[in-house]
Chains A and B, each alone.
Chain A
Amino acid sequence: GDQVEQSPSALSLHEGTGSALRCNFTTTMRAVQWFQQNSRGSLINLFYLASGTKENGRLKSTFNSKESYSTLHIRDAQLEDSGTYFCAAAGGGSNAKLTFGKGTKLSVKS
């Protein structure tokens, strides 16, 4: 099965509301990275975490390696937050390979 399970696959929010996206890992991961893919297809780096929590504006992400999950919280959603959000995780070893989840497609409506 997939090593990185991302949920939900799709999410619709009204402007000003918030929600959480989640990634569960079926094997031990050492770090996680979150991306937003915008309407042009570009992958924008949001967070890189080897542990703990990071916050940037309306976004907050947590990575718990022991319990094998990571979350991305979006608050006060804006129209420009629409896009597809991916988590990608790195397992042990030195090759720094990332395994991607299948993404969460977020639509923010006015």
Chain B
Amino acid sequence: EAAVTQSPRNKVAVTGGKVTLSCNQTNNHNNMYWYRQDTGHGLRLIHYSYGAGSTEKGDIPDGYKASRPSQENFSLILELATPSQTSVYFCASGRTDNYAEQFFGPGTRLTVL
């Protein structure tokens, strides 16, 4: 029933490894977003997408890539994970005709050792 789901919910990775975080939404929204949350920073935008095949850089894109293969799915890719990327990652979706209102997934806790 949950409209925005994320997998995995928890992930431990090694420095230099590749990590893929996945997001699926059943809201039929065009826009999707990836944020990270760190203590003292609130949520910060990494990448976003206007629709299948589209990816845009957010405010802190360095070290991350994104992929939007379909309306429903949006992935965040860490090609060479570093300990500084240890964080909680949230995916969100939103409509293009009602900008700003976004609906969030449950989050993925990533630890890079």
Interface status of B60 (Cβ within 8 A of chain A): no
Query: Shortest distance in angstroms between B88's beta carbon and chain A's nearest beta carbon?
Result: 7
Which residue on A lies nearest to B40, using beta carbons?
A: A102
CB contact list, A31-52 vs B, under 8 A: 31-33, 35, 40-43, 45, 48, 50
User: Number of A residues contacting the other chain (C-beta, 8 Å)?
Assistant: 27
CB contact list, B63-105 vs A, under 8 A: 88, 90, 94, 96, 99-104
Q: How far, in whole Å, are A100 and B109 apart by their CA atoms in the complex?
A: 19
Interface status of A86 (Cβ within 8 A of chain B): yes
B43 close to A42 (CB less than 8 A): no
Please give, as numbers and ranges, the residues of chain A lying within 8 Å of B58 by CB-CB distance.
97
**In this complex, which of B56, B90, B100 has the most chain A Cβ atoms within 10 angstroms of its Cβ?**
B100
Question: What total of A-B pairs shows CB separation below 8 Å?
Answer: 67
Interface string of A75-110 (1 = CB under 8 A from B): 000000000001011100011111111110000000
Q: How far, in whole Å, are A89 and B100 apart by their CA atoms in the complex?
A: 7
User: Number of B residues contacting the other chain (C-beta, 8 Å)?
Assistant: 27
Q: How far, in whole Å, are A76 and B50 apart by their CA atoms in the complex?
A: 41
Interface status of B13 (Cβ within 8 A of chain A): no
A97 close to B48 (CB less than 8 A): yes
B42 close to A86 (CB less than 8 A): yes
A94 close to B99 (CB less than 8 A): yes
B102 close to A33 (CB less than 8 A): yes
Contact A31 to B100, CB < 8 A, known contacts A41-B88, A41-B107: yes
Please give, as numbers and ranges, the residues of chain A lying within 8 Å of B88 by CB-CB distance.
41
Query: Shortest distance in angstroms between B34's beta carbon and chain A's nearest beta carbon?
Result: 12
Interface status of A30 (Cβ within 8 A of chain B): yes
Q: How far, in whole Å, are A43 and B101 apart by their CA atoms in the complex?
A: 13
Q: How far, in whole Å, are A43 and B107 apart by their CA atoms in the complex?
A: 9
B residues near A (Cβ < 8 Å) are 31, 33, 35, 40-45, 48, 50, 56, 58-59, 88, 90, 94, 96, 99-104, 106-107, 109
A residues near B (Cβ < 8 Å) are 6, 30-33, 35, 40-43, 45, 48, 50, 86, 88-90, 94-103
